[in-house]
Chains A and B, each alone.
Chain A
Amino acid sequence: MLYSVSHTTTYNYDAPVSYCHNIAVLKPRKSPGQELLEYKMQINPEADEISERMDFFGNYITRFSIQKEHKQLKVTTVSKLKRDYEPYKLSFQSEACKSITLEQARKNLQKTEAEILDAKQFVLESIFIRHWGESIRNYALESFSPGRSVFDAAEELMQRIYVDFDFVSGFTSVSTPINEVMEERKGVCQDFAQIAIACIRSIGLPARYISGYIETLPPPGREKLIGADASHAWFSIYIPGFGWVDFDPTNNQIPGNQHLVTGWGRDYYDVPPLKGVVYGSGKSKLNVEVDITRIP
């Protein structure tokens, strides 16, 4: 499947900004079943200097600064992506994946292969996912019972979050503590992904945060609205002895071709789409528009 994704972030300031430094994690990374064919970033006003590098996790980081006074910052990226995730999705249903139990997984995690060593850092606490309480661990234990297939347990965890949590935007912010989200049982896709990751880490397995997009399909017979698509987030669990498996607790599904990956890390902190430091007085207003179109 070929997609064109356009993502526009606009900040309107009520007072002029004299200069700013910014970091964007918007260029889609190399990821299983996904290939970046074309990519373009447009910044308004034009950036005075811009550079790109790869971060610790293999994500593309774009850094730019604007030194002329401005009242609006507009960053647009257009990516052309080839996505074919079905073979991976299919492999999750295999015996090799499903047969690994919690005990086996924990045992495999003790091995010292490079891949396992690399995955193990995703067991530890991270900036937004830390100090998780008993309630999170207990919530996880309901699914991750002894002797059970890790894949089945993770799938059930995803389903339970989908059922137990309400999608309410504006209730949480990026820095809302994880225990508070657990208590309130509401939030947005970022929160659901981070809750799942906390649960998995609390029982000692690696999990990471995936940031990307999801294509929304209009109801049958209706035309698709512009800007209806959105940036999205989900989680991935590492099943030692098999590999990484993605789950989307917001939509209660295993991501397929409609999920497009931008970057991953320990949590949202590692892959914020756009952040920066601005110099000026006054407040800003944010607007984000995402459009995903299929290329025939």
Chain B
Amino acid sequence: MTVATNSWFTRYFTDNTYDEMFSPDLSVKGNWKELLENFKRLGIDGLTQRQNDIDWLLEENGVTYNVYNDPNGLNRPWNLNVVPFLLHADEWFKIEKGLKQRAELLNLVLKDIYGERRLIKEGVIPHEVIYGHRGFLRQCDKIQYKLDRHLLLYAADLARGSDGRMWVVNDRSQAPSGMGYALENRSTTNRVFADIFADMSVRRLSEFFKEFNELLVEASPEKLENPNIVILTPGSHNETYFEHAYLASFLGYPLVQGNDLVVREGNLYMKSLKGLKRVHVVLRRVDDVFTDPLELREDSHLGVAGLLDVVRRQNVAIVNPIGSGILENPGLIPFMPAICKFFLDEPLMLPQIASWWCGQDKEKNYVLENLHNLVIKPIDRTNREHIHFGSLMTKTELERLKQEIQRKPYHFVAQERISFSTAPNLTKGNFEPRNMVARTFTIAGKNGYNVMPGGLVRVAPDRNTLRVSNQRGGTSKDFWIIDSEQAGESPNFNWNRRSAVSVSGLADLPSLTAENLYWAGRYVGRTLVNARFLRMVLKQTSSTEIIPQQECSVKLNILYKAVTQMTGTYPGFMEKREDGTYAMSNPLEEIYDVILNSNRVGSLAHTISMFSSSYYSIRNLWSSDMWRVFETIQKLWRNIENEKDLTVTKLIKALNQLITRLIAFMGLIEESIMVEQGLLLYFIGLQLEHSMLTITKCRALLVNKQLGQTEYEILEALLASHESLNIYRYSYRSFIRIEPVINLMLMDLKYPRSLAFLLVRLQKDIARLPHSQRSDTLMQYEKNVFEAFSKLRLASSEALAITTGSDSHVREDLDKLLEDLSDLLFQTSQSISNTYFNHTYKQSQLVDQNFSI
């Protein structure tokens, strides 16, 4: 090692903890030498550049991690450090063997606990470790499964212990997260370090994911070549939602929520556009107790009522089986050597973190005496907020904890404070040692368990923090297993995927996805039309500031009222507010509010947030270009919101940008999502929204006849907001008059922005919906659009332009027609919802109960 690279590390050590890269004599350990050579070649600047590439790639791909209860935490970017974590194949070989043994062992524990319970009967483990753990679900007792192994997916957190070996610190078995992030980390480093990968023999992950896919197919209770497999997510607010969507699109299976599924006649079905579709395998990311509100947690809206019964009948396989949360149990750790002896008659291979279960007097007394040095966890709540660090607690807190332990000793386990090993992290051009934990993944295969060659490594957020957790803003590393010799060319991710076409057409689209696409279309249409209209009104306002005229204020009055009608932000400009004030007296303030107040339903900000959340919910359908443009829209909006001195000019400029980006985004949607994936629903939503807003706009601006110049200016404003001024001039080459405007806006069959054109398109699109093709009879929504279209065709612009009565200024026929059309389109929307999104049935309990189990 040259001085140059060594100088990177001059300030590296702070204390005497074990480091992954350096030996105690500061020499670099074997397998890291090659990596350092490569890093040296890049230089610190080159390496920093690669880190920037990684950050950019992650942002481009929208890799995120949500943090609960954190306003800025939703869709927080995922952090991946440029320095990977390395483990030599020789050491990994032993760890892998140990993980396979532990998975097998936990599988046997799982089978025994929900079966004969010999472990308890024969005194291998105390009954409280199981019966006193809330993850032991009595509802799952004696359930039989088709597969011999019950534990199908197992994750273990490993950390380097004081003896220099990797210790197990946590077992994860319900719905372990991280596999998708590990895959994403690898595909990112793979792109950034293509050269280094070629140079060092890093084990590939593709074989593991192929085996994982096989596991899902094998799990099907019926032997089918293409069983229907779904990925069940709690929804887009879940902390690892990115990963759910990522795995869904990587594996090619539909991403569903509890509402998408239903139990009928002892089978599980997915509600799709066409109807019910049988589901054979569920890869779930919903925790045990939330999976079935009938038998488990009654107030859960994340699961499917009756699911457990389908499992009992062996008509569906859940990965992992419901009830496997009992294995996330530090109370088992002290008994693992005995369990290993009992089942396998061999010693436990992987060391574990030293743990004392307080259900035994001797152990309890030890714990009570040494509380300040230990880490205390309840046996069934191993997530961070329930963990106590004795060393960080005050006397009173320790006393309170002691009482709690005394009251319910069996519920607590104390563990030794382990000084994690450190691994190098590149931070601001410097290498820093960071504490690290590695999550490994083990899955059941045909011949025993298979371990992912690598995993997800997480490191502490700064050099002084002991705790490692994504929740606290930590960062991650790719995990490389290094072989001494170059492995042969390994296959890429494009294995022969038997069930790649699980969603084979529009009819199989999950109805929740369909609904989200439909609303995405509606909201994107609403944002665009309203942004244009508001921009036009703002322009009018700023120009009349210079020439205040009588006509202008009449015109503005009408335009302001139209703003309220278009956005539905009543009372707005229509009448006085409840407190007696009137928006008309300070119109600019009201318009700013209608644009910026995200808490006001109907405001532009609110519509944008609705648009965003419907898009987040279908992000498994996105392309990376879509993500990027979407991000620029979000950023633009954040900047507007944070702008201190937001002048009218600045606001108009921002709306210009918003409109351009929205149009880019809409273009991308059309080319990135296939019609079978649900693009049709998006189009229907979009056409419907455009049609409805066109009607509202015309009603607000055309029904009341104005005098001379005002009428002209209103018509001009209308055409401008509709981006139709040039077309009008081109088509009519005349002074702007009411009849041609009605014609262009409503009746023109060739002009894509006219209502008639939109309705033709809408008729074509809804005819392609699955139920529309059933018979010669039209569906209700088809009838509605057909009727609307007919009414429009039967009208004439000349007749509509006429006001009735000599002194009346109202175009009553136009008003009546637009009112009818508005009603019909509203009914169309209702009918589409009722026919295709009927999962919106409210779920409630027969007896209202609200408690945790």
Contacts and interface: CB of A to CB of B under 8 A. Distances in A.
Partners in one complex: yes
Interface of A: 11, 18, 20-23, 48-49, 51, 53, 55-57, 63, 65, 67, 112, 114, 117, 120-121, 124-125, 127-128, 174-175, 269-270, 272, 274-281, 284, 286
A114 B127 CA distance: 12
B750 interface: no
Given A49-B265, A121-B127, A124-B410, A275 B843 contact: no
B125 to A, nearest CB: 12
30 contacts: A20-B846, A21-B263, A21-B294, A48-B265, A49-B265, A55-B141, A57-B138, A65-B306, A112-B123, A117-B120, A117-B121, A120-B131, A121-B131, A124-B131, A124-B132, A124-B410, A127-B851, A127-B853, A174-B847, A175-B851, A269-B853, A274-B846, A274-B847, A275-B845, A276-B846, A277-B293, A277-B298, A279-B843, A279-B844, A280-B841
Nearest to B295: A23
B846 A284 contact: yes
Nearest to B851: A175
Contacts of B265: 48-49
B306 A21 contact: yes
Contacts of A124: 128, 131-132, 410
B309 interface: yes
Contact of A63 (B120, B138, B309, B410): B309
B341 interface: no
Given A67-B264, A277-B844, 20 more contacts: A18-B841, A21-B294, A48-B265, A49-B265, A53-B312, A65-B263, A65-B264, A128-B851, A174-B847, A174-B849, A274-B846, A274-B847, A275-B294, A276-B294, A276-B847, A277-B305, A277-B843, A278-B845, A279-B844, A286-B847
A279 B842 contact: yes
Nearest 10 pairs between A and B by C-beta? A56-B138, A276-B846, A277-B305, A279-B841, A121-B131, A56-B141, A21-B306, A21-B305, A175-B851, A124-B132
A125 B128 CA distance: 10
Contacts of B263: 21, 65
A125 B306 CA distance: 27
Contacts of A51: 266, 309
A144 to B, nearest CB: 17
A284 B845 CA distance: 10
Given A65-B263, A121-B131, A278 B121 contact: no
Contacts of B847: 174, 272, 274-276, 286
Interface string B42-57: 0000000000000000
B325 to A, nearest CB: 15
A281 B410 CA distance: 44
Contact of B266 (A49, A57, A284): A49
A278 B844 contact: yes
Contacts of A275: 294, 298, 845-847, 849
B44 to A, nearest CB: 56
Given A21-B294, A23-B294, A11 B121 contact: no
Contacts of B295: 23
Contacts of A174: 847, 849
Interface string B678-689: 000000000000
A277 B312 CA distance: 19
B69 interface: no
B413 to A, nearest CB: 16
B847 to A, nearest CB: 5
Contacts of B72: none
B132 A125 contact: yes
Contacts of B845: 275-278
Given A21-B263, A48-B265, A56-B138, A125 B408 contact: yes
B850 interface: yes
Given A63-B309, A124-B410, A11 B853 contact: no
Contacts of B139: 55-56
Nearest to A174: B849
Contacts of A127: 851, 853
Contacts of B266: 49, 51
Nearest to B308: A63
A270 B850 CA distance: 15
A283 to B, nearest CB: 9
A55 B121 contact: no
Interface string B97-141: 000000000000000000000001101000110011000001101
In this complex, which of B128, B131, B408 has the most chain A Cβ atoms within 10 angstroms of its Cβ?
A: B131
A132 B293 CA distance: 26
Nearest to B114: A56
B139 to A, nearest CB: 8
Contacts of B128: 124
A124 B127 CA distance: 10
B131 to A, nearest CB: 4
Contacts of B844: 277-280
Nearest to B303: A277
A117 B298 contact: no
A128 B265 CA distance: 32
B294 A270 contact: no
A65 to B, nearest CB: 7
A174 B294 CA distance: 17
B80 to A, nearest CB: 42
A55 B846 CA distance: 21
Nearest to A273: B847
Nearest to B120: A117
A92 B456 CA distance: 61
Interface string B403-439: 0000010100000000000000000000000000000
A112 B850 CA distance: 37
A7 to B, nearest CB: 16
A284 B850 CA distance: 17
Contacts of A175: 849-851
A174 B844 CA distance: 17
Contacts of A276: 294, 845-847
Interface string B198-230: 000000000000000000000000000000000
Interface in B824-853: 841-847, 849-851, 853
Contacts of A11: 846
A78 to B, nearest CB: 21
Nearest to A286: B847
A128 B266 CA distance: 30
A21 B296 CA distance: 13
B441 to A, nearest CB: 32
Interface in B137-157: 138-139, 141
B853 A114 contact: no
A286 B613 CA distance: 39
B844 to A, nearest CB: 6
Contacts of B141: 55-56
B289 to A, nearest CB: 11
Nearest to B841: A279
Contacts of A277: 293-294, 298, 305-306, 843-846
A273 to B, nearest CB: 9
Nearest to A283: B844
In this complex, which of A121, A125, A274, A277 has the most chain B Cβ atoms within 10 angstroms of its Cβ?
A: A277
Interface in B244-272: 263-266
Contacts of B842: 279-281
B662 to A, nearest CB: 35
B127 A270 contact: no
A10 B511 CA distance: 33
A229 to B, nearest CB: 21
A71 to B, nearest CB: 14
A286 B846 CA distance: 9
A125 B849 CA distance: 19
A275 B139 CA distance: 15
B305 A270 contact: no
A127 B266 CA distance: 28
A275 B132 CA distance: 25
B846 A22 contact: yes
B216 to A, nearest CB: 26
A63 B139 CA distance: 13
